[in-house]
Structure 1
Amino acid sequence: MRILIAVVLLMPLTAPLYAEPLSFDAALDRAARHAPELQGSEAGVAAAQSAAIAADRLPDPKLDLAVKDFPVTGPDAGRLNRDNFTMQVVGISQEFINPAKRRARAARAQADIGIAQADQALEIQNVALGTALAWIDLHYAKRRLSQLDLLDESLDDLQSTVTARLASRSARPAQALEPAQLRAAIADRRSALAAEVARARATLVRFTGDPLADVQGEPPPSTIDGDKLKAGLASLPRLRAFDAQIVAADAETQLARADKRPDWTVSGAYGRREPNYGDLVTLGVTVDLPLFPKRRQEPKIAARASEASRARFARMAVEREIVAALSSDLADHRMHHQQLDNARKTLVPLARQRAQLDLDSYAAGNLDLGTALLSTLALVEAEVDALAREADVARDAIRIQFTYGDTQP
């Protein structure tokens, strides 16, 4: 009951805070704390660390309980301790793994920790990238939607002008339908943008765990230092994952080589016989005999060494792929910057001038309403397209920074 009361009292305090719009940094922080992918990768690291504790330990000793030489035929059949052969034996044995194999197992366990940590770094990168792109998509989709709303409001004034001209019989009756047609075209664009907003918000909800996720504030700067990114490629989580796999392959090779060294087992037993006869003690050592290494151990060593070479070549190929991808992405980023500058400095100003000139011509009776409305729609299209180009630049910057650099721009 006390717990229930505490939960009820705390709900009004926590719920509003949880539903506040998120800045860019706040969304990343929320995702880092609530994304189940990161919690799962953290559990994977903990599992590898726990397994490493026992990796190089000796096996548990074995307890041997037996009745030996029990007669099943003859005069003493079925009778315990009636002859000098039957014994009740209690023994213990301990296997000793050769030190080279134990060291190799420890190295393999540490490699597993490295693989788990590299996987965790990849998950952190993927979650941060997905959250950042969802925030950018939602931010710009809402801005483009707001741009359409402004045009819809401006059509009210235009509709009043058309109505006045119809009343004065200076416009054709069919022209009264043209603002409604423009509103229908805007409604189609609004539906598409509303779907983009919904998709981006759904992705942001997925990563942050906030069912009412929304955005506020401005996106981060879109500047990229290409030289710095190229200099730090070796520390990328993807390459670190390959490095961990190389370490694991080398540990497997060491483990295969260690099989050429024998393991041994030490055992001791105490045998209790019939009181008329003396008890017996047995001590022994069992040693593995790797007598045919060319057909047993050496093929395994060669296979593990080939796997290690394959891992190194795979890492080299991925590094070249990343270098090429970074150069390509930087080229796209420069292209999108140029397209954005062209839209801001040329396309939008020209569309605005044309729309104003056409509206002035329509007001003066020198142009039909349909042409003036098309110019107005072209202006909105240019402004929305400029926002889309700005979103492309922002997405490029986020994707490049979070893929090839730190998770904070």
Structure 2
Amino acid sequence: MTFKCNCTGWPLVAGFAASVLAWPGFAAALTLDQALRLAENNAPSLTAQDQKIQAASSAAIPAGELPDPKLVLGLQNYPVGGPDRWSVDQDFMTMQMVGYRQEMPNADKRKARIEVADAAIERAAAERRVERLKVRQATALAWISGYSVERKEALFRDLFKENRLLSETVRAQIAGGRAQPADAVTPKQEAARLAEQQDNLTLERTQARAALKRWIGTAANDKPEGGLPVWPVDASTFNHQLQHHPELAAFAPMTREAQARVQEAVSEKKSDWSWEVDYQHRGREFGDMVSVQFSWDLPLFPETRQNPKIAARQAEVSQLQAEREALSREHTEQLENQLADYQRLDRAVRRTEESLVPLAREKVDLSLASYRAGQGDLNAVVNARRELIEARLKQIDMEEQRALTAARLHFAYGETSL
């Protein structure tokens, strides 16, 4: 017996499965922790920093080694006049030479080069920590923005439901003779206004996903899930950690590298030397010879050669010290401003939760009750609902801004050991 499989239905099954997975209830979710892990694994800037560390490590291997030796070939005392001219073996002074030459930088210079290379590795590692902090912070900010958009989207779904209930109330009032037929248009106008506001969320969602996609790739299309992160915000802790900020900590290896370059410039005041061994071959009737020679650099004019280089390297050290102090003051200013902004936003969130939103909701309930009793105006109900919508949207915005400020503080001064 033969079996024949009719597979024409499989594309339909696959399409149905894909459509099911595309439903909101089946959409892939993305938590903040997952986004941070993906960013550390996928961010191209971190890959670039890893390669920079690898490059510095490879460059450090030959830092203290001697220069490559030189092979010396030559023809010495070649006659161009007299009876033996143009001959390489008739004149006893003509020699075919092969030699070996090795340059010997002074010990201080080799030591300084090793220190420069080691400091370069430390500097590359410090720069990677800075970049990691920036990647994690930017990822968190983008995720928080995307999560807040989803909260607003859920709010608008509730608002549309409430608007449909208002429309039913208005129709009941018109049927009972307690409202004008023109009132039936008002809920429709409100629905259109809500739809217009909702359209702005599409732009905000696209912008948030684009920002997140920069760090984690296509996973940014997944729906943010969880809740707004809650990080402790303690001024004393942040002030203590300020000087350990990765951007400030990076100045330590940068300064060591600059100081090592100063020592390398100073070492040029000491003579480098070289040695050479040559073997000279002459004609058969003449004996071959061996020569040994040494040479030294003579730094006789330091005022116009070595000293200006030393001064330039010392100026670079002073420049780094001044830049670190300037950056430290900048971070101090940023920290104080962000702490003050966080406190303001925290008070605004509590005020919105405890008074603005409850009072706006109470106003809607009272206005609607009066309207149902035939004692109120529909415009009062609509205006009260608009105030409630604005208060609820403001609440989400304030909570988002507070979370964004907390993220900036946390990743700048709470993760300095990472």
Q: TM-score, normalised by structure 1?
A: 0.91
CA distance in 2, matches of 1:223, 1:363: 47
SS of aligned partner of 1:209: helix
- 2:233 corresponds in structure 1 to 224
> Aligned pair in 2 of structure 1 residues 191, 175: CA closer, same or farther (>3 Å)?
same
Select 1:46's aligned residue among 51, 54, 65. Answer: 54
Amino acid at match of 1:158: L
CA distance in 2, matches of 1:59, 1:214: 58
- 2:412 corresponds in structure 1 to 403
CA distance in 2, matches of 1:47, 1:362: 75
Select 2:380's aligned residue among 368, 371, 377. Answer: 371
Amino acid at match of 1:45: I
Amino acid at match of 2:207: R
Number of equivalences:
392
Q: Is contact 1:23–1:215 with CA below 8 Å preserved after alignment?
A: yes
- 1:277 corresponds in structure 2 to 286
Select 1:90's aligned residue among 98, 110, 130. Answer: 98
> Aligned pair in 2 of structure 1 residues 220, 233: CA closer, same or farther (>3 Å)?
same
Amino acid at match of 1:90: V
Give a deviation string over 1:384-409, Cα, whole Å, max 9, x none. Answer: 11111111111111110101220799
Report which stretch shifted further, 257-266 or 233-242: 233-242
CA distance in 1, matches of 2:359, 2:191: 23
Q: Is contact 2:32–2:143 with CA below 8 Å preserved after alignment?
A: yes
Amino acid at match of 2:407: I
Shift of the alpha carbon at 1:142?
0.6
Following superposition of structure 1 onto structure 2, how do residues 160-309 of structure 1 map, counting pairs within 5 Å? 160-211=168-219, 212-309=221-318
Identity of aligned residues (%): 37
CA distance in 1, matches of 2:241, 2:174: 68
- 2:334 corresponds in structure 1 to 325
Q: Is contact 1:222–1:393 with CA below 8 Å preserved after alignment?
A: no
CA distance in 2, matches of 1:145, 1:310: 51
Q: TM-score, normalised by structure 2?
A: 0.89
SS of aligned partner of 2:292: strand
Following superposition of structure 1 onto structure 2, how do residues 109-148 of structure 1 map, counting pairs within 5 Å? 109-148=117-156
Q: Is contact 1:134–1:201 with CA below 8 Å preserved after alignment?
A: yes
Report which stretch shifted further, 146-155 or 223-232: 223-232
Report which stretch shifted further, 207-216 or 382-391: 207-216
Report which stretch shifted further, 115-124 or 73-82: 73-82
Cα RMSD after superposing both structures? 1.9
CA distance in 2, matches of 1:175, 1:222: 48
SS of aligned partner of 1:84: coil
SS of aligned partner of 1:332: helix
- 1:4 corresponds in structure 2 to none
> Aligned pair in 2 of structure 1 residues 64, 213: CA closer, same or farther (>3 Å)?
farther
Q: Is contact 1:233–1:405 with CA below 8 Å preserved after alignment?
A: no
Shift of the alpha carbon at 1:123?
0.8
Give a deviation string over 1:6-61, Cα, whole Å, max 9, x none. Answer: xxxxxxxxxx9xx8422221211111111111111011011101111111111011
CA distance in 2, matches of 1:232, 1:80: 78
SS of aligned partner of 2:218: coil
Unaligned 5+ residue runs, structure 2?
1-20, 22-26
Select 1:315's aligned residue among 307, 321, 324. Answer: 324
Report which stretch shifted further, 313-322 or 280-289: 313-322
Shift of the alpha carbon at 1:86?
2.4
